[in-house]
Amino acid sequence: SKAGTMAIGTAAKASSNNATAIGNGAEVTGENSMALGAGAKISSNNSIALGAGTEFNGPLVNTYAAFTNEMNPAEAGVVAVGNTGTPRRIVN
């Protein structure tokens, strides 16, 4: 196992440094990343997959903030909710 990993749940896997997988079948292959929920999967570094079935394995690219036009570097990672077939809403 890698340094600082934690996997909780049947078939949960945390296979990179400082990775945390919580939930049955949760899987993390990105460093400093977390998957939370049954079947949640994340492969990007510095990222989080929230909720059952959430998956993100797309490429990270630099983006720009809408109002300030400041660059958000790809290395900053993502927070993923849902997947391409099951989108989710973020509410307050």
DSSP states along 31-60: TT-EEESTT-EE-STT-EEESTT-EE-SPP
**Count of domains forming the chain:** 1
pTM summary value: 0.85
* Residue 12 located in a structural domain: yes
DSSP assignments along 62-77, one per residue: -EE-TTT--EE-GGG-
Per-residue pLDDT of the chain (92 residues; tens, 9 = 90+): 689 999 999 999 999 999 999 999 999 999 999 999 999 999 999 999 999 999 998 777 788 888 898 888 888 888 999 998 888 888 98
Torsion of CA 8, 13, 17, 20, to 10 degrees: -30
Give domain status of residue 91, yes or no: no
Domain encompassing residue 36? 6-81
